[in-house]
Amino acid sequence: MSEKYSIQNMLAVLNRTFIAYLEMQYHIKDESLIRERHQMLTQGENIISRSPFIEATPVYEQVQSFQKVDLPNIVKDTLIKLSDLNVGIYPKPYHHQVEALHAFFNDHKDLIISTGTGSGKTESFLMPVLGNLTIEASERPDSVKLPGCRALLLYPLNALVNDQLGRLRKLFGNIEAAKLISGNSGRYFRFGAYNSRTPYPGQRSNAKDSQYIQPLFEDYYNNPSFLNRKDQLETMGKWPSKNLSSFYAKHLETKTQFKSGKRAGEYRPVHNWKDRLKTQAEDRELLTR
């Protein structure tokens, strides 16, 4: 076993991941409190976890490579290239994953994946989705330019949504992976999460943009304590696959002066929301409803 996958390293990774989840899930505006919380979570042993219990389980049967799998060439080539990019597609798929790919593309069957925990069930349905996208980009590039829903992933819990959102961000957030899937169509495929935490409910309005979107960016995405960790958060799938600066477009915000009344002469911001929050061509993620 390599040092990277030793028990000690895996435990350390799990601890860091859990700490990152806590810090991302429960936002604090005050930077001193953010630092104090981080120090509390990371100092000493057994703060957020105990010593691990180790259970040996059989390994699922693997196939040596996608090269030997009977699939449409464009699908096979894309999966092989994606497996080299460290985006969650692995070079040696499990046998049941290959069976799922074969049943989907060659036999045109619907799939039910009922294998055990840690068996790559997500990849068993995600790889057929990716394959379909590459086929569309290769054979129908004009179709790719049309906005529309290609796949719908439904989950019963927000925790599962957040986990899968992280996987999609690691995949589509990698620009090389996004280009591979989109081919020469001239447009990236996009994804987005839609649940109770997606900003924001109801019809869009200036008041709601100020109520929901402005705090999200000012307290979080534009917060130096998070911006300083952007690369780390991107690696973990905790940062949107989106040009947030161009989307928020704070430079379009202006000021106007009160002409009369008690506040005469004072300036107030004019947010110009109607000209902001525009999806950019390079975006791979949709952030709002």
For residue 2, the model assigns a pLDDT of: 62
Give the C-alpha distances (Å, rounded to integers) separating 222 from 68, 213, 215: 47, 12, 10
pLDDT along the chain (289 residues), means of 10: 75 86 78 87 82 83 92 96 94 95 96 90 95 96 93 90 91 95 93 90 92 92 87 87 96 92 89 96 93
Which 3 state secondary structure label does DSSP give 167?
helix
Q: How many CB atoms lie within 10 A of CB 182?
A: 21
Which 3 state secondary structure label does DSSP give 69?
coil
For residue 207, the model assigns a pLDDT of: 94
For residue 205, the model assigns a pLDDT of: 94
For residue 26, the model assigns a pLDDT of: 80
For residue 255, list its beta bridge partners: 269
Give the closest residue to 283 by CA, choosing from 237, 243, 245, 231. Answer: 243
Secondary structure (DSSP) of 23-76:
HHHS--S-HHHHHHHHHHHHSSSSSS--PPP----PPPPB-S-GGGS---HHHH
**124 vs 101: CA distance, rounded Å:** 7
pTM of the entire structure? 0.82
